[in-house]
């Protein structure tokens, strides 16, 4: 198999695995609060488990970001899917808090439909090595598009336990346990897909990196810090806690919540192709900033909305805008790193991720603790975001060269193009 064919095959496999994982994350993020409250956990314990589910992947991503250049990416991905299988089985059969907390820390269960796991930086590293820089934003938009669509379908599928229980086929708790077993089964399928990946040929670099991130260490750490501030506010708004808030305050059913998050995910998915075209016109950084600001205004209004209809409208408007920065942000980070220091290799995709996960995880617990203290108030302010400050600061940075390249569009077939071999070797 030629190098070009191998890269095309890798892209197809990675996008397939992304969709499978996103489907599982979609229904798990909604079912988690229902399942945990159903087995007797209060708001604080649910918040603690949510925190652990975000903190654990953050710590693993930090470690992998330092050692990934010594290990094969494919092996790391298959190991992560093993943890995915263990996570699903563990939550299906365990009901005690401390074992569940341990599984949350070392596993891959996610309280949000967005991908905050260790999979994302590893997959993005392989994808970035499979395309030329001009197509980088496009392939990441495709990656995010597939993830959002399948995650939305997963959210809709979260109503399955309620439907099964109504049909008296099995008790509700057994139906919920079956969904976690399905999550484990999806992990096994992802394992088989990753086993088929072909690692790119390794070659010695001509100039060794001067540090853990090479010459680009400063820019990568700066971006990680900024994204940490962004996620510090976003941690108030993980999907599991939002679902729990809707259940508590509006009596939303599981089926209705699944439908809401399905349409939210679908709107987010269709925003990715628009983000690519927008980034081509106004640049990656401007795309990040000027789509996030109105999105967060909608989010800030949610706790004060008097009716469920207004809440749903605000959430849907926010969903249309909130994820448009994702392909632009990913492309920006990788472009800045590969332009500054192509010799520093695999670790560029791992560095910024821990900031997003770890700060969100601390907010998961703090948001639930704060909620307990202000329980009499029907609308909480704990979900107001802190994101715009980080993005305004980012807008002062210079743009990578990719922003001035023509012919950037969302076309999966056009992204299957292998970079010059010398470039590929230095980035692998």
Per-residue pLDDT of the chain (428 residues; tens, 9 = 90+): 677 777 888 899 999 999 999 999 999 989 998 899 989 998 889 989 988 998 888 888 888 877 777 778 889 999 999 999 999 999 999 999 999 999 999 999 988 766 777 898 889 888 888 777 777 778 887 888 898 899 999 999 999 998 898 888 888 889 999 999 999 999 999 999 999 987 655 434 444 444 555 666 777 777 778 777 777 776 677 788 888 888 888 888 888 888 999 998 888 888 888 888 888 888 888 888 888 888 889 988 998 999 999 999 999 999 888 878 777 777 777 666 554 444 444 444 444 444 444 444 444 443 433 333 323 333 333 333 333 333 333 334 444 444 434 333 434 333 333 333 333 333 33
How high is the pLDDT of residue 282?
Answer: 87
254-292 as b/e, with b when 16 or more CB fall inside 10 Å? bbbbbbbbbbbbbbbbebbbbbbebbbeebbbbbbbbbb
What integer pLDDT is reported at residue 181 of this predicted model?
A: 96
- Cβ-based neighbours of 334, under 8 Å, separated by 6 or more: 124, 128, 136, 348, 349
For 349-390, give the secondary structure using H, E and C: CCCCHHHHHHHHHHHHHHHHHHHHHCCCCCCCCCCCCCHHHH
Q: Give the tens place of pLDDT for each residue, 53-87.
A: 988 888 888 888 777 777 788 899 999 999 999 99
pLDDT at 217: 72
> What is the C-alpha separation between 41 and 47, in angstroms, rounded?
10
Backbone angles phi, psi at 261, to 5 degrees: -70, -25
DSSP state of 55: H
DSSP 196-235: T--PPPP---SS--SSTTGGGHHHHHHHHHHHHHHHHHHG
pLDDT at residue number 277: 86
Does this model's pTM top 0.75? My answer is no
Predicted pLDDT at 274: 86
* Tokens found for residue 401: 């060269």
| 138 close to 417: Cβ distance less than 8 angstroms | no
Q: Which residues lie below 8 Å from residue 375, measured CB to CB, with a gap of 6+?
A: none
* CA atoms of 275 and 242, how far apart (whole Å): 25
């Amino acid at each position: 198999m030629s190098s070009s064919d191998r890269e095309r095959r890798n892209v197809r496999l990675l996008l397939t695995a992304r969709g499978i994982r996103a489907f599982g994350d979609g229904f798990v993020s909604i079912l988690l609060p229902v399942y945990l409250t159903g087995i007797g956990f209060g708001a604080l314990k649910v918040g603690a488990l949510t925190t652990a589910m975000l903190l654990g992947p953050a710590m693993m991503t930090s470690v992998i970001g330092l050692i990934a250049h010594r290990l094969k990416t494919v092996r790391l991905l298959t190991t992560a899917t093993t943890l995915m299988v263990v996570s699903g089985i563990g939550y299906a059969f365990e009901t005690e808090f401390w074992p569940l907390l341990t599984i949350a820390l070392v596993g891959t269960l996610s309280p949000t439909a967005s991908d905050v796991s260790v999979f994302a930086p590893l997959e993005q590293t392989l994808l970035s090595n499979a395309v030329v820089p001009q197509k980088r934003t496009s392939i990441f938009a495709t990656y995010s598009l597939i993830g959002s669509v399948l995650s939305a379908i997963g959210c809709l599928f979260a109503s399955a336990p309620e439907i099964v229980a109504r049909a008296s086929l099995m008790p509700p708790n057994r139906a919920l346990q079956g969904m976690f077993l399905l999550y484990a089964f999806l992990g096994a399928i992802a394992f088989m897909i990753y086993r088929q990946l072909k690692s790119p040929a390794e070659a010695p670099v001509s100039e060794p990196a001067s540090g853990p991130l090479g010459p680009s260490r400063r820019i990568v750490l700066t971006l990680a810090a900024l994204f940490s501030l962004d996620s510090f506010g976003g941690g108030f708004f993980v999907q599991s806690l939002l679902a729990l808030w809707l259940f508590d305050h509006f009596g939303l059913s599981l089926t209705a919540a699944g439908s809401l998050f399905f349409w939210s995910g679908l709107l987010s998915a269709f925003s990715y192709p628009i983000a690519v075209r927008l980034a081509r016109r106004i640049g990656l950084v401007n795309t990040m900033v000027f789509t996030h600001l109105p999105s967060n205004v909608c989010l800030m209004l949610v706790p004060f909305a008097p009716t469920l209809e207004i809440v749903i409208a605000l959430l849907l408007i926010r969903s249309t805008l909130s994820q448009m920065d994702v392909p632009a942000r990913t492309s920006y980070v990788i472009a800045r790193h590969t332009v500054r220091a192509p010799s520093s290799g695999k670790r560029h995709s791992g560095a910024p991720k821990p900031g997003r996960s770890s700060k969100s995880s601390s907010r998961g617990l703090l948001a639930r603790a704060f909620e307990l203290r202000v329980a009499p108030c029907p609308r909480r302010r704990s979900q107001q975001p802190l994101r715009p400050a980080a993005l305004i600061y980012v807008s002062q940075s210079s743009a990578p060269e990719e922003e001035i390249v023509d012919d950037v569009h969302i076309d999966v077939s056009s992204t299957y193009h292998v970079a010059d071999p010398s470039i590929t070797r230095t980035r692998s």
